Chains A and B, each alone.
Chain A
């Protein structure tokens, strides 16, 4: 108990309170400790008026709260904000004694008692002498709010206390009688009633340091003073009327502001009720805590049902549940881990990693989160490694090891990658020299070839136009002319758009290849050949392109890297977006397929990692092994089913194609580089969907039944077609997609052949496997069709 406070109270209330206190606080050891001390003094009623026994009883009963040292929580915010005067966040009232009419003597005594060194005062100069000037004090400007104008207080400001301006000898010449001066109280002699003030800023106490001293204008007088003047002028003006007229009073936040000013906490509000003492409030009863707990349990419920969905292969529903869980509780570890696992299953390694990391951040000891993160990091690292992003991959391995130092796979991978990095540095150095000399000759020959080809294509396109219209089925014939031309025009437009994309892609390649120019000679040559054939100028030295192919192979996730060298995921993201758009530009069925076959994608990616078995799996692998494989095969199947027309055209072209086959093959082979870029762009499509789509389509190519959840598929279809109202009937769309596909297909076949031709075939050469699956004559037809389509595709550009 605060003894001084209690004594002050007892002095005020007298003996009776002490007696009551002794009755009421007998149980309180704190009071007993101070009671004997307090009992020595005699208390006479010092307070005014008769004391109320009820009040005394109240004080006595609540004494343990009232005089408890912890009761005094307020730390008044004393520093007056500089803008408080101007903004007036609360009603600044004149000093109350202006209304109270306290006797002159008492007020004067009170002022001398309460005024302190360091306070700011405002006064008017009444006399200027050679040693300084005298002020009649008007009011206080900070620290104390008192009415002092009529107290006849005089204060001296010595010449030493006036800051000199330098140019003039006599600083006093600035000041004239009648000037309003704001000054700091320098010294105070309470007995002789002498006040000295200063104009030096150092005279103010630190919290008033912002106040400027010196001459002030009338408008700068403190508000409480000018308001006090108004009260003095108008006797009808009362405190309450003035209070309401102040606009600070109407500030909607005035209570919060003043509470801060007074220093009372509104979060842990004081109360004299015993039941409302803050010690009775338990942290776990607070709304925020309960809500957190509740959210966690609700989220967990969602996660549970999500896991259930996941186990039954309903991945979309599972994802929805996880997302719902995270909406309820954004940092729910279980949900994050479960979603991360789902992402990882779908090949969205980056998303998976970020989920796991976030989960670990919230709960650093989560076993599964740690385990999965390690696995995913290594997996992602391998992907990156295959894309030659060694540095990033290495970082991932290191991160994995930092989580689990004994994770053998990560250790092995790290060892391998350090070797590879060193090797590649060596290779790069070797390759640089060869690169440069090769460049020129390659360029020129490529250009020549291109010119010839273009000539040829133009001719062929004309022929093809007529042939395709004649070859289309008889039922189409009557209405043919308008629709087919329209569709072909649209098709060409689409193709052009895609072309633009691939162009971009190849640019990216160029950028990267210039960086990555250190690779084996063999690879470089292959890349070069590929370059040569594409229609656009591609740099001859994209040696690295070949290297990326394995990237599409091992992971099974097909999350290839479109562009951007080692540097970043940002660019990758950008590409991903790009890809998604392109993907949307493709057919409706492509979109629906990828949604529909989600779970299958997940499975296969896993099996891919483990090494696949069975024919279907092999097939999948072969296609996924080179990025666009899936897409290509889808297109193949589509071509089979949809277009007799183009097949006929292809038949007609066959002879020609055969004639050109020699150079064509070379050309085709070379075209893979630009296709590569195109492919990588496609394959880059954000983790889960396109990849799954590819896989599923490859399945359908093998005459598999369509993916089971067809109802979902249709609904998704609906949404998609709604979003693109301009879309034509499915067939046209497919045709458009096909155009692209043929090119891709050409590439893939040539790829396979090229793979065979090259001394050491790239690991699990994708095209080769694909070829094995198809009858050779069909393959041939495809080749030709592809060739043809490609030429046709080139046409519109000229």
Chain B
């Protein structure tokens, strides 16, 4: 199954990027892999925006990617090709069909910025074939479990509930919704979606967003987050937040 990666642009450009990020030999394999994943997820998100993908399909693409590399080694498969196929597959899973041609175009431009679009020639069709082949590989690797529960739905409902607790004028003044949504999207740079429950992620992002603006919430017998999710603890929230903040630190190191 090595075949698919041979024709991808990632096969040309990926390694060089990897090498650039590799830096000193002191780095452990783990952190190097994390950085690679971070970059590839950044690629997925950028492509997602350029392809006009909604947030949920992008999240699915990232989760597909993370779950795929949970089971296999980064050395065996070209991560950028996997990412392209994940985007394609996520479009299908989340009912926002994308065309391989667009995916290839956007990726091509991502790797060769300001280059002319690909010609409709053999190379293009080989790329397309490899994306489709890799999609099948992902499906088999994940045993066809490709639909996930994302925090997005929870977060939006939580936002409405929390909003009702706050004075409406204070709420409209404070960009909590944007911040929470941004945090939620950003958390897919890492494999958090695998390690934390979606409700916890939703609550943590909302918590951090409220905290960032110092929005005061009414306090009762129970905290608002305890109400929204029964089993979440302060530790859970802190764990998610620290994972998330780590990703922001990573950005400075990676890019």
Contact = CB atoms under 8 A, between A and B. Distances in A.
B34 interface: no
A71 interface: yes
A8 B238 CA distance: 22
Nearest to B179: A66
Nearest to A271: B182
B126 interface: no
Interface string A107-127: 100100110000000000000
Given A58-B248, A97-B165, 11 more contacts: A54-B242, A71-B179, A76-B172, A144-B164, A145-B164, A240-B230, A258-B156, A259-B55, A262-B159, A262-B181, A285-B50
Interface stretch (A247-255, A499-507, A692-700): A247-255
B174 to A, nearest CB: 7
11 contacts: A8-B215, A9-B214, A240-B230, A258-B160, A269-B182, A270-B182, A276-B45, A281-B50, A285-B50, A291-B101, A297-B116
B118 A269 contact: no
B220 A100 contact: yes
A149 to B, nearest CB: 15
B50 A97 contact: no
Nearest to A96: B161
B164 to A, nearest CB: 4
8 tightest CB-CB pairs across the interface, nearest first? A12-B214, A102-B220, A294-B117, A258-B156, A101-B221, A100-B220, A270-B182, A99-B227
Interface of B: 42, 45-46, 49-52, 54-56, 95, 101-103, 105-106, 109-110, 113, 116-120, 152-154, 156-157, 159-162, 164-165, 167-168, 172-175, 177-179, 181-183, 185-186, 189, 199, 208, 211-216, 218-224, 227-230, 238, 241-242, 245, 248, 251, 255
Contacts of A5: 173-174, 213
A273 B251 contact: yes
Contacts of B222: 99-101
Contacts of B245: 54-55, 57-58
B227 A96 contact: yes
Given A101-B221, A103-B220, A276-B42, A62 B248 contact: yes
A705 interface: no
Contacts of B241: 52, 54-55
A97 B218 contact: yes
Contacts of B223: 100
Given A58-B248, A73-B178, A95-B164, A272 B183 contact: yes
B209 to A, nearest CB: 9
A290 B251 contact: no
A726 B161 CA distance: 74
A127 to B, nearest CB: 30
A398 B116 CA distance: 42
B160 A261 contact: yes
A275 B255 contact: yes
A443 interface: no
Contacts of A54: 241-242, 245
A239 B117 contact: no
Contacts of A143: 168
A217 interface: no
Contacts of B183: 272
B157 A9 contact: no
A72 B175 contact: yes
B214 A270 contact: no
A255 B162 contact: no
Contact of B156 (A12, A254, A297): A254
A238 interface: yes
B219 A48 contact: yes
A301 B117 CA distance: 14
A267 interface: yes
B218 A110 contact: yes
A263 interface: yes
A285 B178 contact: no
A114 B174 contact: no
A143 B172 CA distance: 13
B175 to A, nearest CB: 4
Contacts of A297: 116-117, 119
A99 B218 CA distance: 12
A40 to B, nearest CB: 18
B81 to A, nearest CB: 18
A296 B47 CA distance: 22
Contacts of A281: 46, 49-50
A298 interface: yes
Interface string A587-609: 00000000000000000000000
Given A239-B228, A240-B228, A270 B179 contact: yes
Nearest to B223: A100
A33 interface: no
A173 B199 CA distance: 52
Contacts of B230: 238-240
Give the interface centre of B101, B178, B245 by most chain A CB atoms within 10 Å: B178
A369 B242 CA distance: 63
Contact of A274 (B45, B212, B219, B251): B251
A52 B109 contact: no
A142 to B, nearest CB: 12
